[in-house]
Amino acid sequence: MTYIYSIPNATSGIDDVLLQTSTEMPSLIPLLITSIWFFIFLTGYIKQRNREGYADASQWSVLSSLISLIITLLFTTINIINISILSIVVGITILTGIWYFLSRSRYDN
């Protein structure tokens, strides 16, 4: 059977599978980081809105950005992302931090 991309060698360990898959499809890791960001943001936002009646979007965006940044920094130790993705994640973290500190919800309580 012919595949449209080369199948990773699963006998050399699960870490090698991740590395070979990300080499074969470079958008895998950015999509994974984006899905983690939206998972934390949407679950936290909707849960807080259902429990409290209001939700702080800036707070959940800065929290999800920080967790995404830490996961991205862990990925940099095994060379499966590039410098532009790391720069984008750091930039988004800084922008959401500025949004959080300048948002009005810090003063409403």
Partner 1 sequence: MMNKKGGTISWSWAILFAGSFIFCIIMFSSKFAIDNNSYISIDGDIRSNNTLTDINNTLLIYQDQNNVTIRGLSGSKIESGSDSLSRVSSFESGDKISIATITNATRNSLDSILGGSSSNNKGIYYIAGSFAALLGLITILYAWKTLKGSPD
Binding positions for partner 1, rule: CB under 8 A: 69, 73, 76-79, 81-84, 86-88, 90-95, 97-98, 101-104, 106-108
Of 3 and 107, nearer to partner 1 (C-beta) is: 107
Give the closest residue to 22 by CA, choosing from 65, 69, 85. Answer: 85
Yes or no: say if 56 and 105 are a contact pair by the CB < 8 Å rule: yes
The least distance separating partner 1 from the CB of residue 1, rounded to whole angstroms, comes to 34
* Cβ-based neighbour number of residue 93 at 10 Å: 20
Of 23 and 76, nearer to partner 1 (C-beta) is: 76
Q: What amino acid is encoded at 41 in this protein?
A: F
Of 14 and 102, nearer to partner 1 (C-beta) is: 102
